[in-house]
Amino acid sequence: MRSVMRWSMLSAAGVLGLTACAAMQSQSTGGNPMSFFVTSVGSGKGGDLGGIEGADRHCRALAAAVGAGDRTWHAYLSTQGSSLNDPKVVHARDRIGTGPWYNAKGVMIAKNVDDLHSPSNNITKETALDERGMRVNSRGDTPLKHDILTGSRPDGTAFPGPPFADMTCGNWTRSGADGAAMTGHHDRAGPIDHPWATSWNSAHPTLGCSLEKVRPTGGDGLFYCFAVR
């Protein structure tokens, strides 16, 4: 009898412990396990995101609206320097934490930074959801919105600065016809089946930095957001 009672007490303690852990986890994440999303809307000014800091704020605001605002959110964006060896250059891969990352449905996108930048990552039109868990318009949808701003090379590093071409819309401050920004295809689809056309983070540049110049190739000024922790 004593052994039965002892086992019951231990079982009850175990259940209470698991419940407490679950409650703590829910509280720490706001009840939302999401750590990756495509922004449902851009800044409204094409490649002008208010700089990389403005893009981070946009990520935080969208995440907060769906109960995930207590995390540290960074936009997956690179910047270019004033020269080839400018130490102030920002590489997108260096600012998103260590992973793993999950979308709004709890599906893992990548285990870590190396996995994210390898062919084995799980970014597809079915998994690259916005912060509300909605699919982003892909190839075949109207209007097409699969051009996601990154300003990055396939390995997540920045492009060189002057005298080379602008690939970040002036480090995310330009909204005119001049300049350009590198984009990736969140649906991993393009007009031809070549690596550049199916890259999630480095497919092709925009035609300019205004929203009118971003849209013709299939974009809407959207970008990726990752929870650093």
In the predicted structure, residue 58 carries a pLDDT above the cut 90: yes
Instruction: Determine the Cα–Cα distance for residues 1 and 7; give it in Å rounded to an integer.
Output: 10
Among 79-83, 121-125, 156-160, 173-177, the least confident range: 79-83
In a domain, 211, yes or no: yes
In a domain, 61, yes or no: yes
- For the stretch 184-210, pLDDT in tens is 999 999 989 888 999 999 999 999 999
Provide the pLDDT for residue 82. 87
Provide the pLDDT for residue 193. 87
* 168: phi then psi, degrees, rounded to nearest 5: -135, 20
This prediction's pTM: 0.86
Instruction: Determine the Cα–Cα distance for residues 125 and 141; give it in Å rounded to an integer.
Output: 11
In a domain, 93, yes or no: yes
Please give the tally of structural domains in the chain: 1
Question: Which of helix, strand or coil describes residue 179?
Answer: coil
Q: Which domain holds residue 101?
A: 34-227
- For the stretch 87-123, pLDDT in tens is 899 999 999 999 999 999 999 999 999 999 999 999 9
In this predicted model, which residue has the larger pLDDT, 228 or 2?
A: 228
In a domain, 223, yes or no: yes
In the predicted structure, residue 153 carries a pLDDT above the cut 70: yes
Among 8-17, 27-36, 203-212, the least confident range: 8-17
Q: 94, 226 in Cβ contact below 8 A?
A: no
In the predicted structure, residue 57 carries a pLDDT above the cut 80: yes
Provide the pLDDT for residue 62. 98
Q: 34, 108 in Cβ contact below 8 A?
A: no
Provide the residue count of the chain: 229
In a domain, 25, yes or no: no
Provide the pLDDT for residue 179. 97
In a domain, 48, yes or no: yes
* CATH for 87: 3.10.100.10
19 by Cβ neighbours in 10 Å (0-12 / 13-18 / 19+) ranks as exposed
Instruction: Determine the Cα–Cα distance for residues 225 and 186; give it in Å rounded to an integer.
Output: 12
In a domain, 133, yes or no: yes
- Around Cβ 49, how many Cβ atoms within 10 Å? 29
In a domain, 26, yes or no: no
Q: Are strands 219-227 and 147-149 parallel, antiparallel or unpaired?
A: parallel
Provide the pLDDT for residue 4. 36
Provide the pLDDT for residue 127. 98
